[in-house]
Amino acid sequence: MDAPALPEGTPALDPDAVLDTLLAHGYRELAVVPCSYLKPLLERAAQRPDIVYFPATCEGEAVSVAAGAWLAGRRVVVALQNSGLGDALNPLASLCLPYGIPVLLLVSVRGEPGTRDEPHHDVMGRTTARILDDVGIRHAWLPSDPDGFVRAIEEAECVMETTRRPYCLLTRKGSFRDVPVPVPLARTAPDRLPSTAPTLSRADAIRWLRARLPEEQVVITTTGLTSRELYAAGDRPTHLYLSGSMGCAGAVGLGMARSGRRPVAVFDGDGAVLMRFGTLVSAAASAGPDFLHVVFNNGCYDSTGGQPIQGSVPFAATAELLGYAATACCDSLAELPPAYDKVTAQPGPRLLEIKVTTDPVPAPRVPLALPEIATRLRALLDPPAITAPAS
C-alpha cells in the first residue's frame, strides 16, 4: 500500500503558491524525475509559461544540469523521489560538494518509517535522512503552510549562501494540494508529435505478447504499471516483476541472457530506457542470440501521473544503429504481429518498439513478495533452489 497522507486536517500547500515563492527567490526552472507524491506541483510547473520544466532522464542528470545552471548564474530546483537519491549522490558528492555548488533539492520520501509502502521503498525510506547527514547536506521537512514554506526557502537560501553546499527539503504524500490542470500535459514537443496517434494500449500489447512468447521464456518487466499489467495478463514463474529499480530491467535481462540458460524478454518503458540508455549499447554488443527488448513508448511517465519524458526518441531506429540484430516499430494491434515476426525471425539481440496510448488500464499491484519472485525464478534457472532471505 502507498504511504498514508499527512495527518488528517493538515493543510496541503497550493502548488501555485509554492512556484510563486520559488520564482520570487530566482528559481525559474525545475529539473525533474517524477514521483506521484510530487504530481500536483509538477503538473502546474509543466503548465506555467513562467516556469521552465526540464524532464531529466535520471536523477544524476538533474543534479548535474542544476550545477551547470548555477555556474551560469541561474537557479534550478531539482525534484526527485528518494528512491533516486542514490543516482543523484554521484554528482552531489563528486561535483556539487567538492566544487562548492549549491543546489536546492526537493525530495519526496517513500517508505518513511512508521508508514506502509511498497517494500522496495523500505531501505531508502529509513536511510534518506542518514545519507544526507553522512554526506553533509542539510535538510528539513517541507512545512505544510505557505508562510512556513517561505521561511523554509529563506533558511535554505541562507544555508546555501553561507556554506555553498546543496540543501534538501523533504516532502511527504499529500504535501501538495491537487489543483485542476486546465490543459493536458504536453508529453512530446509539438514538432515531434507523430502523424498518427497510437491506438494500442500497453495492457493489450502485453496480453498479446504473453500469449505468444514461449512458456519457458523469462520475462522481466520494468517497475510500475508494466509489471502490474503482465501479472494481470497471467502469472508465470518465469516472470520477474521489478518493483522499483527503474531503468534497470534491460541490464538485468542482459545479465540473464548472457548466462544462456533461457531466452529472455524485457518489457521496458521509454522513460526507464532513457535512465540507463547505455544499456542499449551493451546489449547490442553482448546480449547473445536470445534477447528480446520490448520498449513501450508513450512519451510519458505513466506510473507517476503522465509527466512528459525528454524529447521523442526513435528507439527502434537507434537500436538498429547500435547494432541490434533486428528491430521493428509499430503503433497498432494490426501492426504488432508482423513487427513481432520480424524481430523474432533471427537470432541476436532484438528490439521491438511499441507505441502505446497514454490511458493506462487499471491493474492491481503484484501480490507476490519480492524475495518469492526472485527465488522461484532462480529455482528454474539454477536448481537446486536457494532459500528466500528472512523477512
Name residue 328's beta-bridge partners: 352
Nearest in space to 292 (alpha carbons), one of 243, 235, 354, 246? 354
Give the mean model confidence (pLDDT) for residues 222-247.
Answer: 92
**pLDDT > 70? residue 156:** yes
pLDDT at 22 over 90: yes
Whether the predicted pLDDT of 247 surpasses 70:
yes
The answer to whether 15-171 and 191-380 have equal CATH topology is yes
Question: In the CATH hierarchy, which fold is given to the domain comprising 191-380?
Answer: Rossmann fold (3.40.50)
Contact partners, residue 142, CB within 8 Å, separation at least 6:
13, 106, 149, 152, 169, 170, 171, 172, 175
Mean pLDDT across the chain: 89
Alpha helices in 136-184 (DSSP H): 146-163
At 28-72, the pLDDT tens digits run 999 999 888 999 999 999 999 999 999 998 999 999 999 999 999
pLDDT bracket for residue 226 (50, 70, 90)? very high
pLDDT of residue 7: 54
Q: Write the pLDDT tens digit of every residue in 64-76.
A: 999 999 999 999 9
Average pLDDT, stretch 131-136?
Answer: 96
Q: What percent of the chain has pLDDT over 70?
A: 91
Q: What is the mean pLDDT of residues 275-304?
A: 91
| DSSP H stretches of helix in 14-58 | 15-24, 39-47
Q: Which set of grid coordinates corresponds to residue 275?
A: 535512465
- Least Cα distance to 352 among 372, 335, 375, 371 occurs for 335
| Amino acid 390: pLDDT | 61
Least confident range of 179-193, 269-283, 285-299: 179-193
Q: What is the pLDDT of residues 312-326, one digit of tens each?
A: 899 999 999 999 999
Contact between residue 320 and residue 290 where contact means Cβ atoms under 8 Å apart: no
Across 293-317, average pLDDT: 87
Cα–Cα distance between 66 and 80 in angstroms, integer?
A: 13
Distance (Å, rounded) from C-alpha 358 to C-alpha 285?
Answer: 32
CA dist., res. 325 & res. 342, Å (int): 11
Q: Are 160 and 26 in contact (CB under 8 A)?
A: no
Share of the chain above pLDDT 90, in %: 72
* Cα–Cα distances in angstroms (integers) from residue 70 to residues 31, 276, 319, in the given order: 13, 25, 35
- Give the SS3 label for residue 78: strand
Q: Is 218 helix (H, G, I), strand (E, B) or coil?
A: strand
Note if the bond before 384 is cis, omega within 30 degrees.
yes
Domain residue ranges of the chain, discontinuous segments joined by +: 15-171, 191-380
For 30, the grid coordinates are 525545475
Nearest Cα to 87, choosing from 53, 66, 57, 109? 57
Decide: 94 and 120 in contact? Cβ < 8 Å.
no
DSSP 305-318: T-EE-SS---HHHH
Residue 387's pLDDT is 59
Q: What is the CATH number of domain 15-171?
A: 3.40.50.970
Alpha carbon 331 to chain centroid, angstroms:
22
Mean pLDDT of 327-341: 96
Is the distance from CB of 44 to CB of 91 less than 8 angstroms? no
Total-model pTM: 0.82
Segment (H or E) for 264: strand 264-269
